Amino acid sequence: MRWLLCLLFVSGWMLQTPSLAEEPLVVAPATSDVRITTDFAGTTIQAVGAMSKSGELIIKLVGPKQQATLSRETKVGPFWVEGERVKMEEAPSLLFLYATSPIASILSPEDQQKYGLILEGVWVRVEPQLKAHAASDWRKAFFRLKEKQGYYHEDDRAIRVFGNRLFIADMRLPGDLQVGTYTVETLLVKSGKVVGHTVGSFKVRLSGIERWVWNEAHDRSWLFGSLFTLLCMLVGLALNAFPLRRTH
């Protein structure tokens, strides 16, 4: 009921404001800030929106870029050892594609590529530079790993549409989110063509002791490292001295 009231509010907002009423698509994120605390285990972000005409909806949720290192195990005699290593750079840490129908049935392959709606079509730089076929193998392995871990996926059941005009999108975020800005791109598709396009965002931040540790480790790394090492030494000495006092 609460979200239906929000939908009615968005719809009324469009009708009362001529400039918004002319827009084919209006989306209002439920929040602009996600805070990670000690007991954070994931959350659901909801986007509430309205469209001026009926059609298919596609929502793309993209996380901040990251760098990942992949390695390939090599068999040496009876043992498996770590072999070649490559870095995958500039790829989004998270990529969720939501739609009211399978995306391949909504848009042509060219438009899917244009709007970045193909999971394995996301651009990623492989370092060091490799030959085309070798780089392609590493990219495929990277995307398989991201999909297996649940960071890249497509879902055509997460968007609920009411009366062919109002909609709610449920976007489930995992517990180990990367800190940074996440973008939410919404497309309205009619007869295979994109007729509405909006982009929003929200931030993922650390909160409480996690935020303090993050800030200190990044802003004053040498001081933080020295104090952390000293603290570990003091804890070790205390744990070593404790049983000695009990024996006397």
pLDDT digits (tens, 9 = 90+) for 200-213: 899 988 875 555 55
pLDDT digits (tens, 9 = 90+) for 74-127: 777 777 777 788 898 999 999 999 999 999 999 999 999 999 999 888 888 888
The rounded percent of the chain whose pLDDT value lies above 70 is 80
Domain 2-207 matching CATH 2.40.110.10: the answer reads no
> Using one digit for the tens of pLDDT, what is the confidence trace for 137-186?
889 989 999 999 999 999 998 899 988 888 999 888 998 888 899 999 99
DSSP 63: P
Q: Are 87 and 80 in contact (CB under 8 A)?
A: no
Contacts of 157 (CB under 8 A, 6+ apart): none
Query: Would the pTM of this model clear 0.85, i.e. be above it?
Result: no
Q: What is the distance between the alpha carbons of residues 64 and 204, in angstroms, rounded to a whole number?
A: 10
In the chain, where the domains are located:
2-207, 208-248
- CA 164, 168, 174, 178 dihedral sign is positive
Write the DSSP string, 139-180: HHHHHHHHHHHTSEEEESSSEEEETTTEEEEEEEEPSSPPSE
Distance, in Å, from the CA atom of 150 to the CA atom of 31, rounded to the nearest integer, reads 23
